[in-house]
Amino acid sequence: MEVMTTKMVAEYFEVDEGVIKMCYQRNKNEIDEDGVTHKKLGDMRDSQWKHDVTIMKEQRKVTLIFPELEVEIPNTGLKVFPQRAILRIAMLLRDSEIAKEIRTQLLNTFEHSEEEQRTTEIDNELELIKVGIGNAFIGGDPLEIMKATQAHTAYLNRYITKIEEENVTLTNDNKMLSSDESPHERTV
């Protein structure tokens, strides 16, 4: 699915699910910027599954049964974390050996990267601020200031935008491919 539920993230980091929920609540804005979304079952139809899946409907939830995994989706939906958000959680967790190892690997990657690779994103953002917003402000044109500010905001929200675009594509694919009942769907 290329995303993980709160429960899956907790299992991955070998911590209680409440620890992940608390970490998320304390750092919600920062983690949400990495593309965390709330999904309902209708958003996640079988065309997204890369494996054979059986769907079991119950009164208040649906369980997706994959060959090596079960995912419970409440009727209200659930929060899903993409890889970038999971890495951020790894940087924020204290008492997880898995998270500590991820931080070590991130530092190793940083140490072995070139200076130019490390600062590319910082340079891009500074360019938007200095050249775009700065020049617009100096010019005194409110419309240009607004355009430059919007460009900077779009840059900051690039991961959210990317995931939203992927969601639209998947939703459109689902509409084309899905019917009312999946061949693997059964009601409990």
Residue ranges of domains in the chain? 3-112+157-187
- Stated pTM of the model: 0.58
Q: Helix, strand, coil: what percent of the chain each, to 5?
A: 60, 15, 25
Q: 187 by DSSP, 3-state: which?
A: strand
Average of per-residue pLDDT across 53-81: 79
CB 7 within 8 A of CB 78: no
pLDDT of residue 157 exceeding 70: yes
Between 156 and 5, residue with greater pLDDT: 5
Rounded distance, CA 50 to CA 61, Å?
A: 22
Phi, psi torsion values for 65, nearest 5 degrees: -110, 110
pLDDT for residue 63 is more than 80: no
Give the pLDDT of residue 108. Answer: 87
Give mean pLDDT, residues 116-138: 75
Would you say 129 and 149 are in contact if contact means Cβ atoms under 8 Å apart? no
How would DSSP label each residue in 33-97? TTT-EEE-GGGS-GGG-SS--EEEE-SSEEEEEETTEEEEEETT-EEEEEHHHHHHHHHH-SS-H
Q: Are 82 and 35 in contact (CB under 8 A)?
A: yes
Looking at residue 184, what is its pLDDT? 53
Checking if the pLDDT of 188 tops 60, the result is no
pLDDT at 136 over 80: no
Contacts of 43 (CB under 8 A, 6+ apart): 77, 167, 170, 171
What's the residue count for the chain? 188
Q: Are strands 54-57 and 185-187 parallel, antiparallel or unpaired?
A: parallel
Tokens of 25: 């609540």
- pLDDT the model gives residue 15: 96
